[in-house]
Amino acid sequence: MSFAKRQGELELTVLQKAAQAGTLESNDIMITVSPADPGDGIRIELSSPLIKQFGRQIKLVISETIQEYGLSDALVHANDRGALDCTIRARVRAAVERAARGEEQ
């Protein structure tokens, strides 16, 4: 994939199929992103050992990152193992891009 092509690739993101990124290792988060029907919004199903303390923040980071791609409808399963916000962002980006390319994981 050329450098120039990469720039234009994410201007219109459409989720082709469900895709996953991340692991269940400590400090990581496993993110599965699936297409949703128009109007469904961004639905996040989260499991985390720190869901009471950080659940809201984790969902916010996931939602904001999904919206960076111009998406307003998606289903996200997130299995958190104590990931920092930067890790969550990275895993969501990888999962969205894999889903947009039509890759399963």
Partner 1 sequence: MYVPGNNPGKLQSAGIYGADAVIFDLEDAVAVTEKDAARHLVACAVREIKYPCEVAVRINHISTPFGYDDLNCILEAKPDMIRLPKAEYADDVRKIADIIDKAEARHGFPHGSIKMMASIKSAQGLVNACEIAKAHARMVAIAIGGEDFIADLNTTRSVDGAELAYARSQIVVAARVAKIHAIDSVSTILDDDEAFLKEVRMIKQLGFDGKSCVHPRQVELVHEAYTPTEKEVAQAHRILAGIKEALERKSGVIAVDGKMVDGPIITRAERTIAYAAVVGMIKGDGND
Q: Which residues bind partner 1 (CB under 8 A)?
A: 1-3, 6-7, 21-22, 25-28, 83-87, 89-91, 93-94, 97-98
Min. distance of Cβ 37 from partner 1 in angstroms?
27
- Please, what is the minimum distance in Å from the beta carbon of residue 77 to partner 1? 16
Which of 25/40 has CB closer to partner 1?
A: 25
Query: CA–CA separation, 25 vs 3, rounded Å?
Result: 32
Q: Nearer to partner 1 by C-beta: 41 or 49?
A: 49
Take residue 68 and report the two structure tokens written for it. 């960076």
When the beta carbons of 50 and 84 are compared against partner 1, the nearer one is 84
Identify the bridge partners of residue 33 per DSSP, sorted by sequence position.
19, 76
Contacts of 18 (CB under 8 A, 6+ apart): 32, 33, 34, 35, 99, 104
CB of 75 to partner 1, least distance (A): 20
Distance CA 97, CA 74 (A): 13
For partner 1, the closer of residues 25 and 45 by Cβ is: 25
Helix (H, G, I), strand (E, B) or coil at 33: strand
